[in-house]
C-alpha cells in the first residue's frame, strides 16, 4: 500500500507543496494523487543531511559497505510488489524490470565491494626527506574524501537503475555522502518502495536517519530550491538536456557554485562502412532494429543517427532494416509528456521536405527516415535526440563526406563504427574520440555494461563533465573532493593514508605504486 508521502530525514511526511497525479502508461488510467514537498521540507531534509554527514563520513568502510549491501537485500525483499508497482507506473514489462532490478542490486553491491577493497581512494603518500637541501621535504599525503549532501534527480526511463536507488545514489552513498533524492513524478510509488528499502537498511545498521531522504514532487521550483540550498554540495542528474542545463545553470550561479553531473542523453551516431554493410547486411539491420526499439527507444544510448554511404548495398540494407522494424510490435511510452514530445518530433520530421520517411505509423512503433548528408549538415537541429524508437539514416556520397559530417557533430554519449576494414575507419575513430565518451566497434550502443572501465558520459551536451561517468564504479569519483595532510600524526590520518595500510590498498608512495606498509 503506497502512502504518497515523502521520506524526510527518517519521517514519512505528507507533502506541503503542489499536487500531482501518477498515471499508468499501459492504459492511461489514474493511479494516485500526490502532494509534493514545499521549501521548508526541502530545507529540513538538507539541514538534517548536513548533520548526518559528519557522523556518516567518519564510519568505517566495512560498515558503509555492509549498509549498502543491506540496501540491495531490502530491494530484493520487496519481491514482486516492486516489479508490479513499477510496471504499472512505467509499462516497461516484468522481464525488463526483473533484469533492471538485478542490475540495480548488482550496482549497489559493486560499490560496496569497491569501498571495502579501498584502492579507489587514490591514496598518495610522499614521505618526508628531513635532510633535503635547501629545505627539508615535509610528509604529504592526499586522498579522496566525501563532499557532503548530494541531491539526486532520478530518471524516468530506468525507474530502478537510474532512479531512487540507482547509480547516482549508490555512488554518492559509497563515497560517504548523504543523499536527497528528488523522485521522478512519473513513478512515485516505485520511488516510495525503494525509499522504504533504504529506510530499513538505515534502521538495521543504526545509521543517522537523514543519510537518505526522498522528496516527491513535480514542481520545478522545488528542484531549484534543492539545487540552490547552501548545504547541498553536488548534484547527480539523468534526463533531458533542457532540464539538465537548467539545473547546471542554477548550480553554477549559486554564491558557492557546485558541480552538476548531468547525463543528458544523445543521438549516438552509428557509422556503417562499405565492407560491413556488404558483408553483414542482415546481421547489422536486425541488430540495429533491436537497438533502436529497445525499451521503446527510450534509452540514452539509442542509436538515432545512422551514417551510411550511398550504394546498392545500402539500399538493400534499408529494405532489411525497414522489414525488421516493422516486425517489432508497438510498445507503450513511459508517460504522456514523452509521448507528446515524440509525436511532435515525428510530425516535424514527416513534414520536412529534406527527409524521406521509410517506415512508421503509430507512436510507439519503429520510425525510420533518411536524409542526405548535405541536408543533414545544413539542418543542425537534426542532430538532436529523438526520445523514442526512431532513427535517421544520413546518406553520404563518400568517406570524405562521412568524416566531414562526423567532424561537425556535437557531443554524444556513444559513437559506433561498423567496419571490416580498420584502416579505413582510423580517421573516423580519431574524430569520434573528440565527440563521444564510448566508441563501439561492430556492435550497438544500448546495453551499458556496469564495470570499472565503463564510461557513460561524453562531451557536452551529452553530459556536463566529459571526464565523469554515471555508470560503473568510476562514478564514485564524482562525489569526492581531495584532502591532503602535511606532517599529520598517524591518529589524524584517514585509514587509507596510515603507514600500516590495514586494507592493503594500492597507493602511490613516493611516486611508485605499492600495496605495502610504509
User: What's the closest the beta carbon of residue 247 comes to its own copies, in angstroms?
Assistant: 12
- For residue 103, what is the enclosing H or E element? helix 94-117
- d(Cα 470, Cα 199) in Å, to the nearest integer? 24
Between 190 and 241, whose beta carbon lies closer to its own copies? 241
Region 16-55 residues binding its own copies, contact defined as CB under 8 A: 54
Mask 83-122, x = binds its own copies (CB under 8 A)?
------------------------------------x---
- Using left for φ > 0, alpha for ψ between -120 and 50, and beta otherwise, residue 208 falls in beta
Query: Which listed residue (43, 126, 219, 354) binds its own copies by CB under 8 A?
Result: 126
Answer yes or no whether residue 242 interacts with its own copies by CB under 8 A: no
Answer yes or no whether residue 327 interacts with its own copies by CB under 8 A: no
Region 467-496 residues binding its own copies, contact defined as CB under 8 A: 467-469, 473-474, 477, 480-489, 491-492
Region 247-286 residues binding its own copies, contact defined as CB under 8 A: 248-249, 252-253, 256-257, 259
Answer yes or no whether residue 434 interacts with its own copies by CB under 8 A: yes
- Which segments within 212-301 are labelled E, that is strand? 212-215, 234-238, 260-263, 270-272
Query: Which listed residue (4, 10, 93, 138) binds its own copies by CB under 8 A?
Result: 138
Is the bond leading into 134 cis (omega within 30 degrees of zero)?
A: yes
Answer yes or no whether residue 364 interacts with its own copies by CB under 8 A: no
Mask 394-413, x = binds its own copies (CB under 8 A)?
----------------xx--
Catalytic residues: 263, 300
Answer yes or no whether residue 499 interacts with its own copies by CB under 8 A: no
- d(Cα 153, Cα 181) in Å, to the nearest integer? 6
Q: How many CA atoms lie less than 13 Å away from 23 in the CB half-sphere?
A: 12
Query: Which listed residue (229, 318, 438, 498) binds its own copies by CB under 8 A?
Result: 438
Is the bond leading into 502 cis (omega within 30 degrees of zero)?
A: no
- d(Cα 195, Cα 32) in Å, to the nearest integer? 17
Question: Taking a C-beta distance cutoff of 8 angstroms, is the pair 334, 328 a contact?
Answer: no
Between 141 and 187, whose beta carbon lies closer to its own copies? 141
Answer yes or no whether residue 130 interacts with its own copies by CB under 8 A: no
User: What's the closest the beta carbon of residue 117 comes to its own copies, in angstroms?
Assistant: 8
- d(Cα 44, Cα 54) in Å, to the nearest integer? 16
234-238 and 150-153: which strand pairing? parallel
Between 366 and 411, whose beta carbon lies closer to its own copies? 411
Between 430 and 499, whose beta carbon lies closer to its own copies? 430
Answer yes or no whether residue 455 interacts with its own copies by CB under 8 A: yes
Query: Which listed residue (362, 381, 513, 516) binds its own copies by CB under 8 A?
Result: 513
User: What's the closest the beta carbon of residue 244 comes to its own copies, in angstroms?
Assistant: 11
Question: Taking a C-beta distance cutoff of 8 angstroms, is the pair 243, 237 a contact?
Answer: yes
Between 67 and 479, whose beta carbon lies closer to its own copies? 479
- Report the length, in residues, of the chain: 518
User: What's the closest the beta carbon of residue 318 comes to its own copies, in angstroms?
Assistant: 25
Answer yes or no whether residue 378 interacts with its own copies by CB under 8 A: no
User: What's the closest the beta carbon of residue 509 comes to its own copies, in angstroms?
Assistant: 9
- Angle at the Cα of 259 (from 54 to 484), degrees rounded to 5? 55
**Sequence-distant (≥ 6) Cβ neighbours of residue 136 within 8 angstroms:** 128, 129, 130
- Which segments within 239-302 are labelled E, that is strand? 260-263, 270-272
Q: What does DSSP assign to residue 503?
A: T
- d(Cα 137, Cα 320) in Å, to the nearest integer? 69
**Backbone phi and psi for residue 30, each to the nearest 5 degrees, phi listed first:** -75, 135
Query: Which listed residue (5, 141, 184, 187) binds its own copies by CB under 8 A?
Result: 141
Query: Which listed residue (59, 140, 322, 328) binds its own copies by CB under 8 A?
Result: 140
Amino acid at each position: 500500500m503506497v502512502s504518497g508521502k515523502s521520506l524526510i530525514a527518517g519521517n514519512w511526511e505528507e507533502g506541503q507543496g503542489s499536487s500531482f497525479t501518477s498515471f499508468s502508461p499501459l492504459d492511461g488510467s489514474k493511479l494516485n494523487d500526490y502532494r509534493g514537498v514545499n521549501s521548508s521540507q526541502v530545507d529540513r531534509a538538507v539541514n538534517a543531511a548536513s548533520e548526518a554527514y559528519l557522523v556518516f563520513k567518519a564510519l568505517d568502510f566495512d560498515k558503509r559497505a555492509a549498509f549498502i549491501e543491506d540496501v540491495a537485500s531490502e530491494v530484493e525483499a520487496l519481491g514482486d510488489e516492486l516489479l508490479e508497482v513499477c510496471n504499472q507506473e512505467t509499462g516497461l514489462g516484468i522481464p525488463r524490470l526483473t533484469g533492471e532490478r538485478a542490475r540495480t542490486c548488482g550496482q549497489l553491491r559493486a560499490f560496496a565491494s569497491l569501498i571495502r577493497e579501498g584502492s579507489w581512494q587514490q591514496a598518495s603518500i610522499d614521505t618526508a626527506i628531513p635532510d633535503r637541501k635547501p629545505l627539508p621535504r615535509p610528509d604529504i599525503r592526499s586522498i579522496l574524501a566525501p563532499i557532503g549532501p548530494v541531491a539526486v534527480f532520478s530518471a524516468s526511463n530506468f525507474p530502478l537503475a537510474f532512479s531512487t536507488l540507482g547509480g547516482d545514489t549508490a555512488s554518492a552513498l559509497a563515497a560517504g555522502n548523504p543523499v536527497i533524492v528528488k523522485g521522478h513524478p512519473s513513478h512515485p510509488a516505485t520511488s516510495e518502495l525503494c525509499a522504504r528499502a533504504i529506510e530499513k537498511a538505515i534502521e538495521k545498521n543504526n545509521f543517522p536517519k537523514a543519510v537518505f531522504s526522498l522528496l516527491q514532487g513535480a514542481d520545478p521550483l522545488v528542484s531549484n530550491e534543492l539545487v540552490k540550498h547552501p548545504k547541498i554540495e553536488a548534484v547527480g542528474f539523468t534526463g533531458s538536456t533542457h532540464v539538465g542545463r537548467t539545473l547546471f545553470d542554477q548550480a553554477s550561479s549559486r554564491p558557492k557554485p557546485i558541480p552538476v553531473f548531468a547525463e543528458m542523453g544523445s543521438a549516438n551516431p552509428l557509422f556503417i562502412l562499405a565492407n560491413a554493410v556488404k558483408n553483414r547486411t542482415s546481421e547489422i539491420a536486425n541488430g540495429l532494429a533491436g537497438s533502436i526499439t529497445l525499451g521503446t527507444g527510450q534509452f540514452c544510448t539509442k542509436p538515432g543517427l545512422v551514417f551510411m554511404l550511398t550504394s546498392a548495398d545500402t539500399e538493400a540494407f534499408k529494405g532489411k532494416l525497414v522489414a525488421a522494424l516493422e516486425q517489432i510490435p508497438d510498445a507503450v511510452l513511459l508517460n504522456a509528456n514523452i509521448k507528446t514530445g515524440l509525436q511532435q518530433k515525428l510530425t516535424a520530421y514527416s513534414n520536412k521536405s529534406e527527409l524521406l520517411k521509410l517506415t512508421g505509423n503509430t507512436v510507439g512503433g519503429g520510425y525510420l527516415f533518411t536524409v542526405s548528408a548535405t541536408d543533414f549538415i545544413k539542418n543542425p537541429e537534426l542532430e538532436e535526440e529523438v526520445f523514442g524508437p526512431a532513427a535517421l539514416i544520413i546518406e553520404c556520397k563518400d568517406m570524405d563526406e562521412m568524416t566531414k559530417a562526423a567532424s561537425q557533430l556535437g557531443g554524444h554519449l556513444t559513437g559506433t563504427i561498423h567496419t571490416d576494414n580498420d584502416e579505413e575507419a582510423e580517421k573516423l575513430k580519431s574524430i569520434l574520440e573528440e565527440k563521444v565518451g564510448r566508441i563501439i566497434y561492430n556492435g550497438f550502443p544500448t546495453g551499458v555494461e556496469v564495470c570499472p572501465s565503463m564510461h557513460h558520459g561524453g562531451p557536452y551536451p551529452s553530459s556536463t563533465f566529459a571526464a565523469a561517468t554515471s555508470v560503473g564504479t568510476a562514478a564514485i569519483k564524482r562525489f569526492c573532493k581531495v584532502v591532503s595532510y602535511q606532517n599529520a600524526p598517524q591518529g589524524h590520518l584517514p585509514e587509507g593514508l596510515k603507514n600500516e595500510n590495514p586494507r592493503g590498498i594500492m597507493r602511490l608512495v613516493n611516486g611508485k605504486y605499492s600495496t605495502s606498509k610504509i
